[in-house]
């Protein structure tokens, strides 16, 4: 049986569609500016790496676009992040099923320490994980090979008896190079099929 199932968070366990989120809230021109200013920015990546706090990122965003200060305050808040990232019920149910089968569940995701703490407080199912590795805490982000190596070393898991699901093909390929069975997440049903196929290849 395949023992270890590793999940990303955004786009896998929690929906992450910032463009849709912004368009529902604001007029198109403002939504477009905010998408590029915040979610597609270099600063957002630095948050994930743990190189910036939300307070520091907020100040940088405001320095670039002081006219958008009130939007920036909201979109970098706990309220907004937990509103943007909503649980994907079918994947949550899959995690519970896999746990009941005696498998180990791990989370490997790019998030700031503060942002992940907000998500963890809001989403109890994240506590089902046997281990969690967050980029902003480890100061290494996907797709760096070191983060996959650290996951395996820290939790003493064999990549060959593990599968990793992520919504980003670059991250998936990086994990594959480190020996993990690795697939782009499509749906919980597809995950189940892949796990069943890998079960046949793994000895108990």
Mean pLDDT computed over every residue of the chain = 95
Tokens 């500016």 map to which residue? Answer: 33
Strands (E), the chain: 4-7, 14-15, 86-87, 104-109, 131-134, 162-166, 181-184
Average pLDDT over residues 86-96: 95
CA-based radius of gyration for the chain = 18
Residue 164 — φ and ψ, nearest 5°?
-120, 130
pTM for this one?
A: 0.94
Average pLDDT over residues 17-28: 97
pLDDT for residue 203 is more than 80? no
In the prediction, which pLDDT does 138 show?
Answer: 94
pLDDT for residue 165 is more than 90? yes
**Residue ranges of the domains in the chain?**
4-15+86-199, 18-84
In the prediction, which pLDDT does 168 show?
Answer: 96
In the prediction, which pLDDT does 201 show?
Answer: 81
**What is the 8-class DSSP label of residue 165?**
E
Average pLDDT over residues 128-141: 95
pLDDT for residue 117 is more than 80? yes
pLDDT for residue 204 is more than 70? no
In the prediction, which pLDDT does 25 show?
Answer: 96
Q: How far apart are CA 198 and CA 47, in angstroms?
A: 35
pLDDT category at 34 given cuts 50, 70, 90 is very high
User: Which CATH number fits the domain 4-15+86-199, given the four candidates 3.40.50.1000, 3.40.50.360, 1.20.58.220, 3.40.50.2300?
Assistant: 3.40.50.1000
């Amino acid at each position: 049986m395949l023992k270890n199932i590793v999940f990303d968070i955004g786009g896998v366990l929690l929906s992450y569609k910032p463009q849709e989120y912004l368009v529902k809230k604001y007029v198109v021109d403002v939504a477009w500016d905010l998408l590029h200013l915040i979610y597609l920015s270099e600063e957002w990546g630095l948050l994930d790496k743990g190189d910036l706090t939300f307070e520091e990122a907020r100040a940088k965003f405001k320095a670039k676009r002081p006219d958008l200060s009130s939007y920036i305050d909201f979109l970098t808040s706990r309220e907004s992040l937990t509103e943007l990232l909503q649980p994907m019920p079918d994947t949550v149910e899959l995690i519970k099923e896999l746990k009941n089968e005696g498998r180990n569940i791990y989370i490997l995701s790019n998030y700031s320490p503060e942002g992940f703490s907000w998500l963890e407080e809001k989403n109890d199912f994240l506590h089902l994980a046997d281990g969690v590795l967050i980029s902003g805490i480890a100061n290494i982000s996907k797709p760096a090979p070191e983060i996959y190596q650290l996951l395996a070393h820290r939790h003493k898991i064999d990549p060959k008896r593990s599968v990793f699901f992520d919504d980003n093909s670059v991250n998936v390929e990086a994990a594959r190079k480190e020996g993990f069975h690795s697939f782009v997440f499509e749906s919980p049903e597809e995950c189940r099929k892949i796990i069943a196929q890998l079960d046949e290849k793994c000895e108990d």
